[in-house]
Amino acid sequence: MASPTRPHPGGCLCSALRFEARAQPVRLTLCYCTFCQRATGSTHMVEPIFRQADFEIVAGSPKIYSLTSSGSGKRVDVSFCPECGTKVCLRFERFPGVVGVYAGTFDDPSWFDRSPEITACLFLNSAQVGSLIPAGVPVFSEHRSKSDGSPNEPLLFDAPFEVKRNE
């Protein structure tokens, strides 16, 4: 059971949609897949993953965009503000009971644990050239587990790794 912490608020650009996380994330994903690149407009997504019970929308009502993951074939629901369009969180058919949050939507996006024990980098095979992969964190070429739930084997870099062009 997660130890209680003070609520950590966040929300969208216009503040019509507000949320709170009430515990540390159970894991932290640095995801380099093409979906996360497109969803964030960046090289990767920083996604703290919380138990559903530790996360709550406290103001506003999000719109939901549902899509089928090209990797797992399972549904992903993206919650976003109907006013300004800011994406705030994701829910996954493949991983019921948890919610992934777009880290930059927290009022203080640096509050949560980023230790190597809970962090993993996913989809190294899709990472953009120049992406920096942190040292000491498990890195997976795709997802951390196969569709059947069995684990994939991680890589571990002793120093930061820069993704280079495959030529």
CATH code of the domain in which 45 resides: 2.170.150.70
Q: What is the pLDDT of residues 8-30, one digit of tens each?
A: 999 999 999 999 999 999 999 99
- Write the CA distances from 145 to 5, 92, 95, 115, integer angstroms: 30, 14, 11, 20
Q: Which domain holds residue 23?
A: 8-160
Domains identified in the chain, total number? 1
Residue 140 and residue 112 in contact, taking contact as beta carbons nearer than 8 Å: no
User: Tokens in use for 146?
Assistant: 């196969």
Q: What is the pLDDT of residues 39-78, one digit of tens each?
A: 999 999 999 999 999 999 999 999 999 999 877 788 999 9
Residue 38 and residue 87 in contact, taking contact as beta carbons nearer than 8 Å: no
Residue 155 and residue 71 in contact, taking contact as beta carbons nearer than 8 Å: no
Residue 24 and residue 112 in contact, taking contact as beta carbons nearer than 8 Å: yes
Q: Is residue 37 in some structural domain? A: yes
> Span 106-128, mean pLDDT?
95
For the chain, what is the total number of helices (H) and then of strands (E)? Answer: 1, 12
Q: Is residue 105 in some structural domain? A: yes
Q: Is residue 89 in some structural domain? A: yes
Compute the distance between CA of residue 156 and CA of residue 164 in angstroms, rounded to an integer: 17
Residue 26 and residue 51 in contact, taking contact as beta carbons nearer than 8 Å: yes
Q: Is residue 167 in some structural domain? A: no
Q: Is residue 137 in some structural domain? A: yes
Q: How far is CA 10 from the centre of its chain?
A: 15
Mean of all residue pLDDT scores within the chain? 93
Residue 130 and residue 39 in contact, taking contact as beta carbons nearer than 8 Å: no
Q: What is the pLDDT of residues 78-94, one digit of tens each?
A: 999 999 999 999 999 98
